Amino acid sequence: MIRRSRLKLGIGVSLIAIFVMISISLPSDDQGQPSSPTPEWSYDGETGPEYWDEIEHLGSACGGEHQSPINIIECFTENVKETVLNFEINYAPYTKIHDVLNNGHTIQYSFERGDFVIYNNERFDLLQMHFHEPAEHTVNGIRYPLELHMVHQGKHDNFLVLSIMAQEGLSSEPFQFLESYLPLQPQEKKVVHAGYDLNQNLPDILDYFLYAGSLTTPPCTESVEWIVFKHPITVSHEQVAALKVLMPTNNYRLKQDLNDRTVTLHVIE
């Protein structure tokens, strides 16, 4: 990746540097933590994705070699046939959402602890889910209108994210429930303390792409197993629009170079 010269940012970065010196740095959406009241990164302008690796306190990981999202090119993936999933989704029939927050970057639902995924004999606890409009990952160059990230955390500051694409079509019952707590103003949080069957968020066919990447928001930590479901779920145009209006325009990071990584496609037979 070609790094831009700091000089190009000029006074803008100096001001950002001064700002961050006097502000408290809080981690990103993808870690399930609250953001600072005034975002020190954004999806636009001098604090936008192409400059994240230059904003020092965010960490240099954003300029790393194993970043996310990526464009998945199916004919370049290695195919793996499975009779059962090689990871285990343990979502209760009635998973409780603790709260929903508009953190200025996305709409994020945080879960009460208890649900988890087992991958490679390691437990990853479900923390939160949030949305990108349009999608961050592209498949064969196609960008879906919406991508849902279900973020799970392991024991060693490592993560597993289930990525679910959504296309426009029939309305989704789970989305109807989720969106009944909207709208929310930036930085507004609502206690939900109600639950629903998270399994309803998953596509009918569970074929998935697997690769090692990063958080797609600062600090862009490179210890994330990405499970990107190949088949989209369906949500209505109105359901996409209800989220879109509450999030920054185009709250996605552009595709990152694959470099030496391999993407596998797991087909469930």
When asked if residue 253 is in the footprint of Zn ion (CB under 5 A), the reply is no
Coil, strand or helix: which one is 224?
A: strand
Catalytic residue among 57, 98, 105, 149: 105
Q: How far is the CB of 212 from Zn ion (least distance, A)?
A: 16
Shortest Cβ distance from residue 177 to Zn ion (Å)?
21
Q: Cα-Cα-Cα-Cα dihedral of 256, 111, 267, 200, to 10°? A: -120
d(CA 10, CA 162): 38
Please tell me the count of residues contacting Zn ion according to CB under 5 A. Answer: 1
* Distance in angstroms (rounded) separating the CA atoms of residues 212 and 235: 28
Exposure string (b/e) for 103-125, b if CB count within 10 Å is 16 or more? Answer: bbbbbbbbbeeebbbebeeeebb
Let me know if 156 is a catalytic residue.
Answer: no
Q: How far apart are CA 27 and CA 33, in angstroms?
A: 6
Tell me the closest approach of the beta carbon of residue 107 to Zn ion, in angstroms.
11
Q: Which residue is nearest to Zn ion (CB)?
A: 149
**Stretch in the footprint of Zn ion (CB under 5 A) among 81-89, 97-105, 108-116, 145-153:** 145-153
Residue 149 in contact with Zn ion, rule: CB under 5 A: yes
Cβ proximity to Zn ion: between 54 and 133 the closer is: 133
Nearer to Zn ion, 149 or 230 (CB): 149
Q: Does 105 bind Zn ion (CB under 5 A)?
A: no
Stretch binding Zn ion (CB under 5 A), from 17-25, 141-149, 194-202, 229-237: 141-149
Nearer to Zn ion, 40 or 147 (CB): 147
Q: Burial code of 199-215, b = ≥16 C-beta within 10 A, e = fewer?
A: eebbbeebebbbbebbb
Measure the CA–CA gap between 70 and 262, rounded to whole angstroms.
11
Contact residues for Zn ion (CB under 5 A)?
149
Q: Which residues are catalytic?
A: 105
